[in-house]
């Protein structure tokens, strides 16, 4: 699956990396040409960390996030190049997912590479861990990861929950898709019972449902349902929803925004995923609720040591939540750094502009510094810094070639000819990992 | 939050466009969008051909004397098959030239649809505007009347009216007009109520514009679009329903009208005389199809939700 | 049994498309369908089955003809009287008509049973006739008896006697054979509502207890009406039960006949060309209907009542030259060859071909004569003035076609002439038609058939007759008195030669003084499958007068 | 507002609408002319005509005439149907059953086929099935029923002989009892496969002719609402949960897309109802539509009134049911808006 030795190197050097994006390009076929929504970005997500992905609307951050689940609609989208490698974990044998010392409390352990059985080979980059390229695995394998190893929280829980199904129906789908064996075990049903197994994996057809409504078979169905209910209730309880058994029977429109987002989170974390993608999870919520939801995500993330890709346009929020931050602009990475570094020493003029636009940072009350101009159109862009035209510091080179990512200090890199000139600092070689 | 600047960066001021320029640009954009859909273009082409046929009817045929809307009946050449000399598409039971009927039928249909649609659009728009703009009791009474009209399927209503008025072309026009205005009144009222709530209407009110001026300057231009889409579709629909009434037997004797021709011609189909009703029936189909395609395209182009369909 | 055969036919039809195509492309003829029943597709749904209520010419008559019987009947294939419930046709010769022509005696057939099992007696006949006279329903044909009959009498169980108000040449041909004179069962009527003046009998509207070769079985409104064989019929029993399919459109009947689902269909001549040459379809096209298709000219238009647009003065048709000009202008050939598809005959005047008194040598309007029409219009001054006149007609039938031809004829003659054809719904036409005075200048329909010339002349020619009064013929005839006298003489003249001479004179008189445009006399046409044996019909009413009992397949 | 209150409120408005409809139709028909013609024949004299005028109160002012009509209706007398030569109420039930059987059969064809077509088109948007279905459904909305039905008749009855015409084989029809008037149901009650087959056999062609247009309406609505639903976030969320596409489509998108589709079923029903007039003429179907067409051609006002009233009441009722079902299905809807 991986073809480039250089890519392996990156993974070898950082064994705690759970997902690794290399030169990802996602384009959209538009009426006037190819829109380069994501145009060659590279970054890693480390196990258990929270990586903030910041940028304004249309900079490609949501597209990047969806690429992890391969949810970008094709057409009009096109995966134009690059890779996303991912190391799915499996449930810890010792504690069956509850969390023990063996698995550092996460309930997950690394899965052995199916190609080499853990000895280390090319496929797994020598780590011996199972490694997949999310952009090239078959659909069935992708579906097995979705909601299971990689989960997603959407921006507006009001829209991302199906209005026509109860909370129970929606959360139980996750279990039905990924935890069939557990459901059957909890219900005390033999895994060989085809009818019930199909029910517990959401494969029943209409006539099977009718069969299952007939008295002798009904008890089995009821036991499966009861087991499922318990799992759903537990998942909801994790998010500190009071009265989970009652909430289960509600339709989304009967719940408040905060409650809906809790349901969404419960659904996302139901299978204890390795990577959680949170796409502006608090934007659609009231300010007061936002804080609590953030707190909840943070707490759950720490408890499960789940890696989180946190997408936001809100820098102040990112600063509170994230370990590291990546700033995107017009489909490119502008700057990556730890949160502290970024706020202490913003390097890319765009990052500086963003920070300048934050209230309470040097500007007078009521006067926010704005970045002049608009985001460039991304239709077949030329080789040049994307910030050209809006940048206060631009030089001639900016319009001629793409600026490479240059490491300024450890963990901190930027793509700017002016502020991170290639060949100037000690670490002048272009870096892939921040 | 306060980070609105991020999600929507302030726009560098573009050169100011006049309202007229904006309208022109929008129209051009709309035209472009409409024309980008091949089915819409097919519809437009059919419409243009139909219109050409209707308008040029007196040129491409020899009009029947004294009334060109009557079929020219050649009683000595009844039931002639197509490609007979002088009767390219054959003749009817009464010796009427099918080609003449097809061509002048387009003119009759154009006449019918323009008449009905213009009457109903004007009446419906006025009534709907009054109801929506004034509101209150007047609105209530009007809308109850509209409800009553809408509680009868349109063909049945038109059928009942045409039946009572007696079979004639004018009565079909009348029956369709009585039936169809309601739709426009309802659309227009809903639009006006929606548009009325917009800020620019309030703004105009604050400036002190008169009600009539507000109506014509701000409300009407912004609410007329759905009416126009409906009118486009109805140009086809009117002919379809009108032809159905004519088929049932409510049009005039001997008139060059497609529904009448199908009705006359159906008697002969079993004996292989397919032409007398096939061609006119096909014309009704194409006519309705064309306006439906264009109306559909127009609606999609105007509706942001279905963009990129 | 029937259904099984039918089912078999279906599966055979389903066997394969290829076989079907082969069949269509001139393979073996269509297999006989609906065996064991005669399927007749009728034009009209009956409105009533009661002879006392049925309107002449209406769909119910077809059924009444089969189930009820009358004292005398017309022969199956020609307008000739034959005995039915009476055993003999009265005549002066056999003394059953009294010498003064006022008393008719009918010997009643013995051993005839009604369908309910009761015996037929002279009392039933008297009851039937008296019932009609007493009910006197406006929609029915009571007048046929009421205007003539003075008294009915039961002489004995099997002898019935009628006394007339005055000698009437048309009594046997016009009244005795009329459907209204059908003999019904007294017991059945008395048991089901009896007789009430002016009130229809609801039992009799939908039930029939007669003596005919067919028994009434069921009437599925809008679908069919079924008749069973009467196994105890006094005469030759019927071969097959009958199903009358009702209410289908003319073209559907044509299609059904071609598909073999119908054994015979009622059709007007327009459809005959469609059926000619069709496999397995025979067409009956002999004889003429005795109901000339005519266009009425109103001489009695109330001032200001014409439809908008009409420019003619109300006395337009008072001028015989105008009426003649119209007669010359009409394109007779077009009507005969177009709508009638050649089935019919030019009919010059109001004694149709096939009726006593028809004069083949009389001058006729049988061809368009534009020159004469032009000359006459010029003479009256209308050639240069022009005019617009409306003609009212029922829509989409032969009458409408006649109106269209008049329109075309006149408008092509002179573009200043405009004829508006108002083709209206039947009810609208009927209302306009029934009004006196009538509010339209012209209308188009056909005449009511009769067996005697006097009936035609009284209805359509006599200045004091039905239409003569409504249309004010007295204002238009050059010599109205002479017309009236000739008709009156003809009505009482019992010597055929003298009577013929009177009618010949009248005919010539009417050629110069026409009151109608008579488009044509329609041909009798029926289409039937060739597997129907013994198909016969005769041109008089009821139309079609088919005796189903005689047919087999 | 509770669904129950909503239904009650709608039910209270219903009679007003019906009365309003009856007044409008009554006035319109009477303005056009007197209904007397259907009762006349040309043999009648002026006295007889006058007698009939009086019998039907035709010389009274319009409101009085309406009063008589309404009074009759309330006592179950819808007048005398001239075309049937019987009281309206006597012929109505059997014709109603015939028409409803046809309309419902077509409706089933339209709903099942329409939803299927709409789903396929919506799910494979801009692929060839979508284009085909789009053309088929737009054509369906433009196709003159009177023409389409004739073409079907010619091909399948006259030329191929695959399907019969009419509603039944009279012999088979008469061989079973008709407690409901619905031929198919009666055949099932009578346990007669032969009659049931006969009923279905006769239904197919008219149901296709009539159902095609309605199918187009349903398919179009289904497609557009499915397309809309497929763009909703919850569909993406469902995919993100790992659901296979089949479940995403059926359990999530289609279920919600059906809700707006329900609303067009009311509209479709009106379409079917008016279509029966034409279809019944052509297929010789002994129902209300033909009855109406006859009445129209013969100017039989009592029948026209009765039919229009029936149609509007049914139409109103179906729309009420649809609205209630819609409100029940779509929990987002705010009642009374």
| CATH assignment at residue C269 | 3.40.190.10
- Whether D110 and chain A come into contact, CB under 8 Å, resolves to no
Residue of B nearest to C331 (CA): B75
Query: C67 or A136, which is more confident?
Result: C67
- The C-alpha atoms of residue C192 and residue B125 are separated, in whole angstroms, by 61
Residue among C274, C396, C408 whose CB faces B270 most closely: C274
Q: Are A384 and A332 in contact (CB under 8 A)?
A: no
The alpha carbon of B156 is separated from its chain's Cα centroid by a whole number of angstroms, namely 19
Query: How many separate domains does chain B show?
Result: 1
Which residues of chain D does A137 touch, with a Cβ-Cβ cutoff of 8 Å? none
pLDDT for the residue C110: 92
Look at residue B3 and tell me if it is in a domain: no
Answer yes or no: do C416 and C485 share one domain: yes
Q: Does C273 touch chain B (CB under 8 A)?
A: yes
Helix A257-269 vs helix A167-178: angle between axes, to the nearest 10 degrees? Answer: 10
The two three-digit tokens of residue B216, written as one number: 């014509």
* Distance of alpha carbon A311 from alpha carbon A52, whole angstroms: 6
Distance, CA of C224 to chain centre: 22
Q: Mean pLDDT throughout A350-373?
A: 62
* Separation CA C22–CA C28 (nearest Å): 9
φ/ψ (deg, to 5) at A424: -100, -50
D333 interface with A at CB cutoff 8 Å: no
Q: Which one, of B252, C446, C426, lies nearest residue D83 by Cα?
A: C426
Q: State yes or no: pLDDT of B32 exceeds 90.
A: no
pLDDT tens digit string along A375-427? 666 777 777 788 877 777 777 778 888 888 888 888 888 888 877 777 654 44
From C151, C177, C206, give the residue that closes a domain.
Answer: C206
Q: C186 and C221 in one domain?
A: no
Candidates D127, D241, D244, D254, partner chain A, best to mutate (most A CBs within 10 A): D241
Helices and strands (H and E) in chain B: how many: 12, 0
Spatial contact of A399 and A408, defined as CB atoms under 8 Å apart: no
pLDDT tens per residue, range B63-104: 888 888 988 888 888 888 888 888 888 888 788 899 999 999
Residues C327 and C456 in one domain: yes
Q: Which residues is C344 bridged to in the sheet?
A: C522
In a domain, C445, yes or no: yes
In a domain, B153, yes or no: yes
Per CB-CB distance under 8 Å, the chain B contacts of D270 are: 153-154
B262 touches chain D (CB under 8 A): yes
Whichever domain contains D137, its CATH number is: 1.10.3720.10
Tokens, residue D279: 């279809």
In sequence order, the β-bridge partners of residue A311 are A53, A279
Does C413 share its domain with C361?
yes
Q: What is the pLDDT of residues C22-75, one digit of tens each?
A: 333 333 345 677 778 999 998 777 888 999 988 777 788 889 999 999 999 888
Measured in whole angstroms, how far is the alpha carbon of residue C180 from the centre of its chain? 14
Residue B190 lies in a domain: yes
CA distance D102 to C531: 34
Q: Is D222 a domain residue?
A: yes
pLDDT at A429: 44
Residue among D237, D244, D252 whose CB faces A154 most closely: D237
Q: Which chains touch A (3 or more CB pairs under 8 A)?
A: B, D
Distance between CA A82 and CA A73 in Å, rounded? Answer: 17
Q: State which of C206, C236, C254 marks the end of a domain.
A: C206
Query: Residue B168 and residue C428: Cβ atoms within 8 Å?
Result: no
The answer to whether position D18 is within a domain reads no
| pLDDT of the residue at B67 | 85
Residues C182 and C238 in one domain: no
Confidence of residue D45 (pLDDT cuts 50, 70, 90): low
User: Position of tokens 């800020």?
Assistant: B199
Q: Model confidence over C275-285: pLDDT tens digits?
A: 777 778 888 87
How many angstroms away from the CA of C127 is the closest CA of chain B? 43
Q: Does D246 touch chain A (CB under 8 A)?
A: no
Asked if residue B220 is part of any domain, the answer here is yes
Q: Which of C173, C206, C239 is the last residue of a domain?
A: C206
Of the candidates C111, C131, C129, C132, the one whose C-alpha atom is nearest the C-alpha of residue C120 is: C111
What is the maximum alpha-carbon separation in chain C?
74
Residues in chain C within 8 Å Cβ distance of B79: 273
- Quick one: pLDDT at residue C536? 82
Structural domains of chain D, count: 1
C318 lies in the same domain as C394 = yes
B219 Cα to chain D: minimum distance (Å): 23
The residue with tokens 């329900």 is D262
Residue B235 lies in a domain: yes
C435 contacts in chain D (CB < 8 Å): 49
Answer yes or no: do A373 and B12 touch at CB < 8 A. yes
- C423 interfacial to chain B (CB closer than 8 Å): yes
pLDDT tens digits, one per residue of C231-255: 999 988 999 999 998 866 777 788 7
**CA distance readout (Å), A153 to A62, A261, B176, C108:** 12, 8, 55, 102
Alpha carbon of A13 to those of A20, A82, A352: distances in Å? Answer: 12, 19, 31
> Contact partners of D by the rule of 3+ C-beta pairs under 8 A?
A, B, C
Q: Is the pLDDT of residue A360 over 70?
A: no
Q: Is residue C185 located within the same domain as residue C238?
A: no
Report the distance separating Cα B51 and Cα B61, nearest Å: 15
C367 lies in some domain:
yes
Interface of B with D in 138-177 (CB under 8 A): 144-145, 147-149, 151-157, 159-166
The average confidence (pLDDT) of chain A is 78
Q: Domain limits at D130?
A: 104-286
Please compute the mean of the pLDDT values over residues B142-147 and round it to a whole number.
Answer: 82
Minimal C-alpha gap between A357 and chain B (Å): 7
Residue at D164 is within a domain: yes
Residue C324, pLDDT score: 93
- Cβ distance of D234 and A146 shorter than 8 Å: no
Distance from CA of A56 to the nearest CA of B (A): 5
Chains B and C touch (3+ CB pairs under 8 A): yes
pTM above 0.80, yes or no: no
Output the 3-class SS for chain A.
CCCCHHHHHHHHHCCCEEEEEEEEEEEEEECCEEEEEEEEEEEEEECCCEEEEECCCCCCHHHHHHHHHCCCCCCCEEEEEEEEEECCEEECCCCCCCCCCCCCCCCEEECECCCCCCCCCCCCCCCCECCEECCCCCHHHHHHHECCCEEEECCCHHHHCCCCCCHHHHHHHHHHHHCHHHHHHHHCCCCCCHHHHHHCCCCCCHHHHHHHCCHHHHHHHHHHHHHHHHHHHHHHHHCCCCCHHHHCCCCHHHCCHHHHHHHHHHHHHCCCCCEEEEECCCCCCCHHHHHHHHHHHHHHHHHHCCEEEEEECCHHHHHHHCCEEEEEECCEEEEEEEHHHHHHCCCCHHHHHHHHHCCCCCCCCCCCCCCCCCCCCCECCCCCCCCCCCCCCCCHHHHCCCCCCEEEECCEEECCCCCCCCCCCCCCCECCCC
Touch between A and C (at least 3 CB pairs under 8 Å)? no
Locate the chain C residue with the closest alpha carbon to B254: C404
Q: Are residues C518 and C530 in the same domain?
A: no
Does residue B115 surpass a pLDDT of 90? yes
Q: For the beta carbon of residue A243, count every other beta carbon within 10 angstroms.
A: 10
Q: Quick check: D250 contacting A, CB < 8 Å?
A: no
Answer whether residue A361 shows pLDDT above 70.
no
In this prediction, residue A416 carries a pLDDT of: 82
Token duo for residue D190: 């009578």
Q: Are residues C494 and C362 in the same domain?
A: yes
User: Which positions ≥6 away from B146 have C-beta within 8 Å?
Assistant: B182, B185, B186
Q: How many CB atoms lie within 10 A of CB A102?
A: 13
Give the Cα-Cα-Cα angle A192, A195, A198 (nearest 5 degrees). Answer: 90
Contacting residues of A for D238, CB less than 8 Å apart: 162, 173
Q: Does residue B38 fall inside a structural domain?
A: no
Q: How big is chain C by its Cα radius of gyration, in Å?
A: 25
- What confidence score (pLDDT) does residue A363 get? 43
Kindly state whether residue C259 falls inside one of the protein's structural domains. Answer: yes
Mean pLDDT of D96-102: 91
Residue D183 falls in which region: left (phi positive, over 0), alpha (psi -120 to 50) or beta: alpha
What is the per-residue pLDDT for C373?
A: 92
User: Domain with B286 in it: what CATH number?
Assistant: 1.10.3720.10
CA-to-CA distance for D86 and D70, rounded, in angstroms?
19
N residues, chain A: 434
Nearest to B249 among D24, D297, D311 (CB): D297
Residue B304, beta-bridge partner list: none
pLDDT in tens, D215-244: 988 898 888 888 888 888 888 888 888 888
Give all chains having 3 or more CB-to-CB distances under 8 Å with chain B.
Answer: A, C, D
Q: Determine, yes or no, domain membership for B56.
A: yes
Judge whether D241 is closer than 8 Å to chain A, CB to CB: yes
Q: How far is B235 from chain C (nearest CA, A)?
A: 27
Q: How many CA atoms lie within 13 A of C85 on its CB side?
A: 30
The separation between CA A427 and the C-alpha centre of its own chain, rounded to angstroms, equals: 30
Do C199 and C221 have their domain in common? Answer: no
**B181–chain C nearest CA distance, Å:** 26
- Mean pLDDT, chain C, integer: 84
Where in the sequence is the domain holding B96, given as residue range(s)? 44-63+80-306
Task: Tell if the CB–CB gap between A374 and B8 is shorter than 8 Å.
Answer: no
Mean per-residue pLDDT for D11-35? 79
Write down the pLDDT at residue C22. 34
**Residue B73: inside a domain:** no
pLDDT tens, residue by residue, B243-299: 999 988 888 878 899 998 888 887 776 666 778 888 999 999 999 999 988 988 888
Contact list, D40 vs chain C (CB under 8 Å): 427, 430-431, 433-434
* Same domain, residue pair C388 and C342: yes
Average pLDDT, stretch C2-14?
Answer: 33
Preceding amide of C544 cis, omega within 30? yes
Whether residue C216 sits in one domain with residue C199: no
Instruction: Name every residue whose Cβ is closer than 8 Å to that of residue D160 and which is 6 or more positions away in sequence.
Output: C17, C20
Do D274 and B156 make contact, defined as CB atoms within 8 angstroms?
yes
* Res C352 pLDDT > 60: yes
Are C255 and D158 within 8 A, CB to CB? yes
Q: State which residue of chain C sits closest to D284, comparing Cα positions.
A: C248
Of C99, C102, C69, residue with least CA distance to C86? C69
* Interface residue D37 vs chain B (CB under 8 A): no
Q: Domain range spanning residue C83?
A: 69-206
What Å distances lie between residue B124 and B159, B161, B175, B183, C551, CA to CA?
20, 19, 15, 7, 63
Q: Could you say which DSSP state residue D248 is in?
A: I
Span C412-470, pLDDT tens digits: 899 899 998 888 877 778 878 888 788 899 999 988 777 678 888 988 999 998 888 88
Place of tokens 């182009």: B301
Residues 6+ apart with CB under 8 A from D111: D218, D265, D268
The ipTM of this complex is 0.74
Count of pairs with CB atoms under 8 A, one residue in B, one in C = 86
> Which residue of C138, C307, C422 to mutate against D (max D Cβ within 10 Å)?
C138
Highest mean pLDDT among A87-96, A236-245, C340-349, D36-45: A236-245
CB contact under 8 A, C424 and B166: yes
Owner of token pair 């892939």: A432
β-pair type (A412-414, A406-409):
antiparallel
């Amino acid at each position: 699956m991986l073809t480039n030795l250089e890519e392996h190197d990156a993974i070898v050097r950082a064994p705690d990396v759970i997902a690794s994006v290399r030169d990802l390009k996602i384009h959209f076929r538009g009426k006037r040409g190819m829109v380069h929504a994501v145009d060659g970005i590279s970054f890693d997500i480390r196990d258990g960390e929270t990586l903030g992905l910041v940028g304004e609307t249309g900079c490609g951050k949501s597209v990047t996030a969806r690429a992890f689940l391969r949810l970008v609609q094709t057409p009009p989208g096109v995966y134009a190049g690059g890779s996303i490698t991912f190391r799915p974990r499996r449930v810890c044998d010792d504690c069956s997912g509850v969390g023990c010392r063996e698995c550092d409390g996460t309930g997950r352990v690394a899965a052995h590479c199916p190609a080499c059985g853990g000895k280390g080979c090319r496929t797994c980059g020598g780590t011996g861990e199972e490694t997949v390229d999310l952009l090239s695995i078959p659909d069935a394998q992708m579906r097995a990861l979705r909601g299971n190893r990689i989960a997603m929280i959407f921006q507006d829980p009001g829209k991302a929950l199906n209005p026509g199904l109860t909370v129970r129906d929606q959360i139980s789908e996750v279990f039905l898709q990924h935890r069939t064996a557990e459901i059957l075990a909890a219900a005390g049903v033999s895994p060989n019972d085809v009818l019930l197994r199909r029910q517990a994996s959401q494969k029943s057809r209409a006539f099977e449902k009718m069969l299952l409504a007939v008295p002798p078979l009904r008890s089995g169905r009821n036991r499966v349902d009861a087991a499922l209910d318990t799992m759903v209730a537990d998942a909801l309880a994790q998010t500190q929803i009071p009265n989970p058994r009652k909430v289960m029977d509600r339709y989304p429109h009967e719940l408040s925004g905060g409650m809906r987002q809790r349901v969404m989170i419960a659904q996302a974390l139901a299978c204890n995923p390795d990577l959680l993608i949170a796409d502006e999870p608090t934007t659609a919520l009231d300010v007061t609720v936002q804080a609590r939801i953030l707190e909840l995500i943070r707490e759950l993330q720490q408890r499960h040591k789940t890696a989180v890709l946190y997408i936001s346009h809100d820098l102040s929020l990112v600063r509170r939540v994230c370990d590291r931050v990546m700033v995107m602009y017009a489909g490119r990475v502008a700057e990556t750094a730890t949160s502290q570094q970024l706020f202490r020493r913003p390097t890319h003029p765009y990052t500086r502009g963003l920070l300048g636009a934050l209230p309470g940072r040097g500007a007078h009350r009521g006067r926010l510094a704005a970045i002049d101009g608009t985001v460039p159109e991304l239709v077949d862009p030329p080789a040049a810094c994307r910030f050209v035209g809006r940048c206060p510091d631009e030089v001639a080179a900016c319009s001629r070639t793409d600026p490479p990512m240059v490491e300024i200090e450890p963990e901190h890199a930027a793509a700017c000819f002016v502020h991170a000139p290639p060949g100037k600092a000690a670490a002048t070689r272009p870096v892939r990992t921040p | 939050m306060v980070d609105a600047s991020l999600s929507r960066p302030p726009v560098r001021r573009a050169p100011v466009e006049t309202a007229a320029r904006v309208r022109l640009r929008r129209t051009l954009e709309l035209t472009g969008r409409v024309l980008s859909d091949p089915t819409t273009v097919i519809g437009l082409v059919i419409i243009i051909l139909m219109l050409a046929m209707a308008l040029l009817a007196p040129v491409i045929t020899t009009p029947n004397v004294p009334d060109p809307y009557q079929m020219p009946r050649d009683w000595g050449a009844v039931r002639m098959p197509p490609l007979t000399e002088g009767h390219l598409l054959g003749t009817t039971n009464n010796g009427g030239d099918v080609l003449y009927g097809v061509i002048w039928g387009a003119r009759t249909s154009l006449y019918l649809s323009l008449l009905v649609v213009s009457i109903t659009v004007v009446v419906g728009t006025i009534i709907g505007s009054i109801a929506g703009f004034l509101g209150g009791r007047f609105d209530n009474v009007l809308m109850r009347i509209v409800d009553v009209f809408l509680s009868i399927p349109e063909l049945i209503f038109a059928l009942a009216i045409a039946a009572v008025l007696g079979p004639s072309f004018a009565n079909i026009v009348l029956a369709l007009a009585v039936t169809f205005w309601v739709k426009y009144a309802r659309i227009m009222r809903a639009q006006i109520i929606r548009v009325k709530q917009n800020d620019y209407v309030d703004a105009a009110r604050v400036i002190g514009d008169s009600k009539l001026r507000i109506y014509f300057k701000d409300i009407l231009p912004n609410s007329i679009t759905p009416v126009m889409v409906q009118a486009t579709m109805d140009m086809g629909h009117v002919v379809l329903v009108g032809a159905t009434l004519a088929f049932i037997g409510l049009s005039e004797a001997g008139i060059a009208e497609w529904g009448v021709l199908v009705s006359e011609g159906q008697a002969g189909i079993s004996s292989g005389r397919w032409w007398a009703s096939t061609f006119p029936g096909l014309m009704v189909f194409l006519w309705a199809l064309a306006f439906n395609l264009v109306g559909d395209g127009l609606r999609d182009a105007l509706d942001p939700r279905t963009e990129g369909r | 049994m029937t259904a099984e055969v039918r089912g078999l036919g279906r599966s055979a039809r389903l066997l394969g498309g290829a076989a079907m195509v082969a069949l269509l492309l001139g393979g073996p003829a269509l297999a006989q369908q609906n065996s064991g029943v005669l399927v007749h597709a009728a034009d009209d749904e009956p409105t009533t089955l009661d002879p006392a209520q049925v309107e002449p010419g209406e769909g119910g008559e077809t059924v009444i003809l089969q189930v009820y019987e009358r004292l005398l009947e017309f022969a199956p294939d020609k307008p000739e009287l034959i005995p039915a419930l009476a055993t003999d046709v009265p005549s002066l010769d056999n003394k059953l008509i009294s010498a003064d022509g006022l008393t008719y005696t009918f010997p009643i057939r013995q051993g005839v049973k009604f369908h309910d099992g009761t015996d037929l007696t002279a009392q039933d006949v008297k009851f039937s006739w008296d019932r009609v006279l007493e009910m006197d329903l406006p929609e029915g044909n009571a007048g046929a008896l009421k205007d003539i009959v003075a008294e009915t009498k039961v002489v004995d169980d099997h002898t019935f006697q009628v006394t007339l108000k005055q000698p009437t040449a048309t009594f046997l041909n016009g009244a005795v054979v009329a459907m209204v004179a059908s003999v019904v069962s007294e017991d059945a009527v008395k048991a089901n509502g009896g007789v009430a003046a002016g009130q229809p009998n609801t039992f009799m509207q939908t039930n029939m207890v007669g003596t005919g070769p067919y028994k009434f079985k069921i009437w599925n409104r809008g679908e069919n009406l079924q008749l069973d064989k009467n196994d105890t019929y006094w005469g030759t029993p019927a071969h097959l039960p009958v199903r009358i399919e009702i209410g289908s459109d003319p073209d559907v009947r044509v299609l059904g006949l071609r598909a073999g689902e119908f054994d015979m269909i009622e059709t007007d001549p327009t459809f005959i060309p469609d059926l000619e040459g069709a496999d397995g379809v025979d067409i009956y096209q002999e004889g003429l209907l005795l109901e000339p298709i005519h266009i009425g000219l109103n001489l009695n238009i109330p001032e200001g009542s014409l439809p908008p647009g009409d420019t003619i003065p109300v006395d337009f048709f008072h001028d015989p030259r105008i009426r003649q000009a119209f007669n010359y202008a009409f394109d007779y050939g077009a009507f005969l060859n177009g709508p009638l598809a050649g089935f019919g005959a030019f009919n010059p005047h109001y004694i149709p071909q096939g009726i006593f008194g028809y004069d083949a040598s009389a001058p006729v309007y049988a061809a368009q004569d534009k020159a004469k029409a032009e000359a006459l219009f010029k003479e009256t001054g209308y050639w240069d003035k022009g005019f617009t006149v409306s003609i009212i007609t029922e829509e989409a039938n032969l009458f409408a076609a006649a109106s269209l031809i008049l329109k075309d004829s006149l408008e092509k003659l002179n573009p200043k002439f405009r004829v508006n054809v108002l083709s209206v719904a039947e009810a609208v036409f009927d209302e306009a038609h029934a009004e006196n005075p009538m509010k339209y200048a012209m209308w188009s329909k056909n005449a009511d058939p009769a067996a005697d010339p006097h009936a035609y002349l009284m209805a359509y020619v006599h200045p004091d007759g039905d239409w003569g009064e409504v249309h004010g013929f007295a204002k238009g005839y050059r010599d109205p008195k002479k017309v009236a006298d000739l008709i009156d003489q003809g009505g009482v003249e019992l010597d055929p030669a003298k009577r013929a001479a009177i009618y010949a004179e009248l005919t010539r008189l009417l050629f110069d003084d026409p009151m109608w445009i008579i488009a044509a006399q329609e041909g009798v046409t029926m289409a039937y499958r060739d597997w129907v044996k013994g198909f016969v019909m005769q041109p008089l009413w009821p139309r079609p007068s088919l005796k189903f009992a005689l047919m087999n397949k | 507002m509770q669904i129950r209150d909503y239904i009650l409120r709608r039910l209270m408005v219903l009679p007003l609408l019906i009365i309003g409809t009856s007044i409008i139709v009554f006035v319109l028909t009477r303005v056009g002319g007197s209904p007397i013609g259907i009762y006349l024949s040309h043999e009648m004299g002026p006295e007889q005509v006058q007698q009939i005028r009086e019998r039907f109160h035709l010389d009274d002012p319009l409101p009085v005439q309406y009063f008589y009509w309404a009074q009759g209706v309330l006592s179950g007398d819808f007048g005398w149907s001239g075309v049937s030569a019987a009281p309206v109420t006597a012929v109505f039930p059997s014709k109603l059953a015939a028409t409803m059987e046809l309309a419902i059969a077509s409706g089933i064809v339209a709903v099942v086929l329409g939803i299927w077509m709409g789903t396929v088109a919506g799910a494979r948007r801009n692929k060839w099935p979508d284009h085909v279905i789009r053309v088929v459904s737009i054509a369906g909305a433009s196709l003159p029923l009177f023409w389409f039905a004739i073409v079907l008749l010619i091909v399948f009855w006259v030329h191929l002989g695959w399907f019969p015409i009419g509603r039944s084989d009279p012999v088979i029809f008469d061989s079973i009892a008709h407690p409901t008037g619905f031929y198919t149901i009666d055949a099932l009650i009578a346990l007669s496969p032969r009659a049931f087959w006969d009923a279905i056999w006769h239904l197919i062609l008219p149901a296709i002719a009539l159902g095609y247009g309605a199918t187009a309406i349903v398919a179009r609505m289904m497609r557009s609402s499915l397309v809309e639903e497929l763009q909703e976030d919850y569909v993406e969320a469902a995919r993100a949960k790992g659901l296979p596409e089949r479940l995403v489509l059926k359990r999530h998108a289609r279920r919600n897309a059906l809700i707006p589709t329900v609303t067009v079923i009311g509209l479709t029903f009106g379409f079917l109802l008016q279509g029966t007039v034409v279809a019944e003429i052509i297929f010789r179907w002994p129902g209300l539509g033909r009855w109406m067409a006859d009445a129209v051609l013969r100017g039989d006002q009592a029948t026209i009134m009765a039919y229009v009233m029936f149609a509007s009441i049914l139409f109103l009722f179906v729309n009420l049911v649809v609205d209630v079902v819609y409100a029940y299905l779509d929990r987002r809807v705010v009642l009374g808006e």
